[in-house]
Structures are given as structure tokens and as C-alpha cells.
């Protein structure tokens, strides 16, 4: 492990890391979007391959029946060598002139439903305006919001709202969850005052929102009203996502793309001590 200021380098040598997710034992799951594969960094610092070859995994969440849900060409529940498709590109109705290219960040709400960012693409392979899809069961879901470049999402400690990053709009969408079968966006939080685009996010135990800003060298903590409370400067200009460590660890993991001058370093995982723990992260139940 190597220290950069107050950051500790935990792993390196990947192409683009995404989807950091901590399990109950303190193991960190993550994906290499471009290099392929889903991995697990254990508490001893060892990295093991969990899902081989699979590329395009922008999001990972834990499942209540064990294993993990991974995004990419579809949403699949993986337990060991067994995999089942929960939701596919064909289950999303594309907008006119667009096709569904796959799924990016995912996360669960208190009911175990999955919020997934569906990436829609033009005929030339460029990303168009995508959707936020609510997945309620196998091959069952509905588009909640269209016109975003979807990235991270995370639920407030009281379970009342879910924050969803829209990278292109440089904002967070706030979905009301309480007593609503089909969540709606009640308001937005602008992040335009901060450099970079909001990517992966995590909410702490006090309800503050920690955001990885891709295209900058920072992770910022903002309040639910959009007030910037803290900024952490990283040794890389390409943080892609964040997640909190195990309860009582007072730690934050930051994962990155490959934008280093050092070619061998590649995409990295950093750990930094913070003064808070994370809010509860809900498991998928679909």
C-alpha cells in the first residue's frame, strides 16, 4: 500500500474501475469496465476474480439471497458460477431513433427494487439521452425519467429519497420513495459550481452526499440542499465512484479511471479516512 497525502493506494493496474460495493465482511467488490471482469478486494489486500471476462459493468449491488447483481449488457444476479438475468435491454422501450446499449450504475431502494441507468445510443454508436429505470422483478420494470446520462445513485439514511447523478446535466435528481409505487423526481440539486461531472455517489450516516467528480481531481461532500461541505483532492484527475467502508471504519473508498502519467499504475482504488460512516446500503430483492 502506498500513501498519497492522506489517501492509501489499495490496488492498481486496471483500465477503468467502477461499481465499488462493500459486503458485510468488509470485502470490496469492483469492476474493470474496459478490461473486463468483476473483482473482490479482501480485507487482507488480496484481489480475486469473481466474474470473469464480463465487460461494461458500471454498477454492482449486493443481493439479499447472496451474491451480487451486476450491470452491463443486462442486469444479472451472480452467485458463484450460477447467473440469472434479471432485466435485459429488450425489456426497456427505446426512444425513437435510439437503441438501448446497456446499463450503467445500479442501486437498490429499501424495498429491494433496483434503480438502473439505461444507456441509450444513436445509430452511430454515440450515447444519447438515457433513462432511469425502476426494476421491480424479473423482466419487469418501468422508465422513471428520460433525458439523462445516468451514473451513481444512493438512498438517504431514512429511506425517504434516492439521489441519482445525471452527469451531462451536472446535477442530482431527487426521487421521493415514501409511499409511492412509482417514484417521482421532486427536485434537483445542481453541482455546476464544482469542476467535473458527477459520477458515482454515496450517502453518509448523516445524510450528506459524497460525489466522485469525473474530469476533476476531487471528491466532494454536499448537503441535501447543495451546499458544498468538503472537497478531497486525489492524486488522479479521474475518480469514477465512491463507497463507504464497513460500519465503524470511518473510511471511504474511491475508484478511478486510467488517466495517470504512470502507464503501469492504470486505474486505481484508494482508501481515505473520513469522520463519518456510510448510510445503510440496501440489498436487491428482485
pLDDT tens digits for range 214-240: 999 999 999 999 999 999 999 887 999
HSE (CB half, 13 Å, CA atoms) of 175?
Answer: 27
- Cα(234)–Cα(266) distance, rounded to whole angstroms? 14
Angle at 226 between CA 276 and CA 201, to 5 degrees: 55
This prediction's pTM: 0.95
Q: Classify 2-273 by CATH class.
A: mainly beta
Which helix or strand (DSSP H or E) is residue 221 part of?
strand 218-222
pLDDT tens digits for range 32-69: 999 999 999 999 999 999 999 999 999 999 999 999 99
CB 217 within 8 A of CB 186: no
pLDDT tens digits for range 256-284: 998 666 667 899 999 999 999 999 999 99
Contacting residues for 128 by C-beta, under 8 A, at least 6 apart: 95, 97, 98, 120, 121, 122
Amino acid at each position: 500500500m502506498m500513501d498519497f497525502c492522506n489517501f492509501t493506494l489499495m490496488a492498481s493496474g486496471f483500465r477503468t474501475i467502477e461499481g465499488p460495493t462493500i459486503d458485510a465482511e468488509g470485502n470490496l467488490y469492483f469492476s474493470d469496465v474496459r478490461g473486463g471482469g468483476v473483482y473482490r478486494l479482501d480485507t487482507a489486500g488480496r484481489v480475486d476474480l469473481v466474474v470473469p471476462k464480463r465487460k461494461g459493468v458500471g454498477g454492482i449491488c449486493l443481493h439479499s439471497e447472496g451474491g451480487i447483481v451486476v450491470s452491463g449488457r443486462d442486469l444479472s444476479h451472480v452467485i458463484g458460477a450460477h447467473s440469472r438475468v434479471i432485466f435485459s435491454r429488450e425489456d426497456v422501450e427505446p426512444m425513437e431513433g435510439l437503441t438501448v446499449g446497456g446499463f450503467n450504475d445500479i442501486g437498490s431502494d429499501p424495498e429491494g427494487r433496483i434503480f438502473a441507468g439505461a444507456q441509450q445510443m444513436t445509430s452511430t454508436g454515440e450515447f444519447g439521452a438515457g433513462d432511469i429505470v425502476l426494476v421491480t422483478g424479473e423482466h419487469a420494470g418501468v422508465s422513471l425519467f428520460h433525458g439523462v446520462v445516468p451514473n451513481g445513485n444512493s438512498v438517504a439514511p431514512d429511506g425517504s429519497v434516492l439521489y441519482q447523478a445525471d452527469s451531462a446535466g451536472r446535477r442530482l435528481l431527487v426521487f421521493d420513495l415514501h409511499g409511492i409505487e412509482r417514484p417521482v423526481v421532486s427536485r434537483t440539486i445542481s453541482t455546476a459550481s464544482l469542476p467535473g461531472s458527477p459520477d458515482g455517489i454515496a450517502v453518509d450516516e448523516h445524510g450528506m452526499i459524497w460525489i466522485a467528480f469525473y474530469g476533476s481531481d476531487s471528491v466532494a461532500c454536499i448537503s441535501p440542499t447543495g451546499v458544498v461541505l468538503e472537497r478531497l483532492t486525489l492524486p488522479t484527475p479521474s475518480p469514477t465512484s465512491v463507497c463507504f467502508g464497513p460500519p465503524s471504519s470511518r473510511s471511504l473508498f474511491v475508484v478511478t479511471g486510467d488517466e495517470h502519467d504512470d502507464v503501469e499504475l492504470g486505474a486505481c482504488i484508494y482508501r481515505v479516512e473520513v469522520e463519518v460512516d456510510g448510510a445503510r446500503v440496501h440489498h436487491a430483492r428482485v
